[in-house]
Amino acid sequence: MKQKLIIILAAAVMALSCTLPLAACNDTPTADSGTPYPDENASQGLEFALNDDSVSYAAAGIGTCTDADIIIPSQYNGLPVTAIRRQAFEDCTSITSVMMPGSIRSIGSDAFRGCINLASITIPDGVTSIGDYAFAYADNLASITLPDSITSIGMLMCTETAFFNNEANWENDVLYIGNHLVQSYSDASEYTIRSGTKTIGDYAFYSCWDLTSVTIPDGVTSIGNFAFSECGSLTSISLPDSVTRIGRRAFAASNNLASITIPDGVTDIKDSAFYATALYNNESNWENGLLYLGNHLIEARETLSGALEIRPGTRTIAEYAFYLCRSITDIAIPDSVTSIGRAAFSGCNDLTSIAIPDGVTSIEDETFEGCRELTSIAIPDNVTSIGDEAFAGCGFTDFVIPDGVTSVGSTVFNFCENLTSVTISENVTNIGAHLFLECYNLDSVTFENTSGWTVQLEGQTTDGTPVDVSDPEENEEYFASTYNEYIWVRFA
């Protein structure tokens, strides 16, 4: 296999090795399909941390556990375990096997990096994302099984494992794991991705300068971050109808890429996905300062000002699309839009009002951060979540969280200095920390549903502290100081 350097890596910080005594769990059950998950044999002493959603936990570390065969429980403190955190088991050289419950949805970066005695891993169905270097440098890891549910595979997820280094696992210098394309070292000028592939991993074809043409089959749903970035000979790309996600800088700096076709079904376009391509650099492709690809709005020129109208039929507004468009005062979003990306309007200083269409179901992180003149927003009841810092630095004097919202992120109203009152609707069940940080004029926080509220610190392993939220003025004091660093959870 031809090896080539695809990324210049920073020197890794050495972590303390989890060289705990070996103590195998006798008769450890296998993860056979149809067999009940062996929670009764779950490893004891593992560390857990509450997730940002406040209603689930993540495995966070080896803790005092001395098992060689790790069984992660499906629940902790009565809540599901849905994630394995970044660096949770990094350099735990005592681990020889890991069993994960079907409740797991994500595995963080470096989670099992350097677990040199881990020989095989089976990721359960339901997991959607695996972070950068998650299993890298696990020298003896010879068998990796990934489910079709995976939609995001991080950079060099399994580099320098026995599986990665076994040439028999590569097809013409391309590494697949199950129905996922993980890495390409191919020098071919034309390549057809294998039929049945679901995901193209992060950096999969990064800097493949010889690649002039790639055929992506129907069935692929996700294009990873930097997947085709800096492919200087690539001139055109057509994404199949099955694709729903295009990662950060997925095609960026492919400077001869002049023709790009993306389907209507795409709902998630990450930051700078097409930046510095030939299509991006061609001014004739911009329409009144706006770059569209098919029925998706990719980016707006920072020089735009006044009122503008997004083209009818637009379905998706990409991440950071209007970032730092400081002089825009009004934006009309058509009803056809169903997805608005992270930080899409961040830094639109002069934006005064906006209406979110009924088809949108979430306000993502930082969507309106820094919109200091924004005093009016219409949010439909179909919106169920508001992300971190979504309205940080906005100009609202009062704010009513809509009835459909159940989840409110952290620091959502950070530095909203004009904010005096907020109403939290009856369906909200969890609220992140620092919700009203630096909101100096806030004097009233009203809960429409006052029953069952508790507060707890992130990562707290004990039950939360019950809080009486019947007094709006006292609630302001809770958020300002008493429980400023706490997350809020409402139990029915």
Q: For the segment 123-138, what is each residue's pLDDT rounded down to a tens digit?
A: 999 999 999 999 999 9
How many domains does one find in the chain?
1
Does residue 229 lie within any of the structural domains?
A: no
Residue matched to tokens 């996922």: 180
pLDDT tens digits for range 145-202 = 999 999 999 999 999 999 999 999 999 999 999 999 999 999 999 999 999 999 999 9
Residue 229 is predicted with a pLDDT of: 98
Residue matched to tokens 């677990």: 115
Quick one: tokens of 28?
Answer: 């450890």
Residue 35 is predicted with a pLDDT of: 77
Does residue 385 lie within any of the structural domains?
A: no
Does residue 428 lie within any of the structural domains?
A: no
Residue 15 is predicted with a pLDDT of: 36
Q: Which domain holds residue 95?
A: 39-165
Residue 17 is predicted with a pLDDT of: 38
Residues 6+ apart with CB under 8 A from 334: 309, 310, 311, 312, 313, 314, 357
Q: What residues in the chain have per-residue pLDDT under 50?
A: 1-32
Residue 34 is predicted with a pLDDT of: 60
Does residue 2 lie within any of the structural domains?
A: no
Does residue 45 lie within any of the structural domains?
A: yes
Does residue 16 lie within any of the structural domains?
A: no
Cα separations in angstroms, 150 against 86, 140, 222, 250, 348: 17, 23, 9, 18, 35
Residue 52 is predicted with a pLDDT of: 79
In this structure, which amino acid lies at residue 250?
Answer: A
Residue matched to tokens 């001395």: 66
Does residue 119 lie within any of the structural domains?
A: yes
Residue 459 is predicted with a pLDDT of: 64
CATH number at residue 100: 3.80.10.10
Does residue 322 lie within any of the structural domains?
A: no
Angle at 88 between CA 83 and CA 93, to 5 degrees: 130
User: Global pTM?
Assistant: 0.90
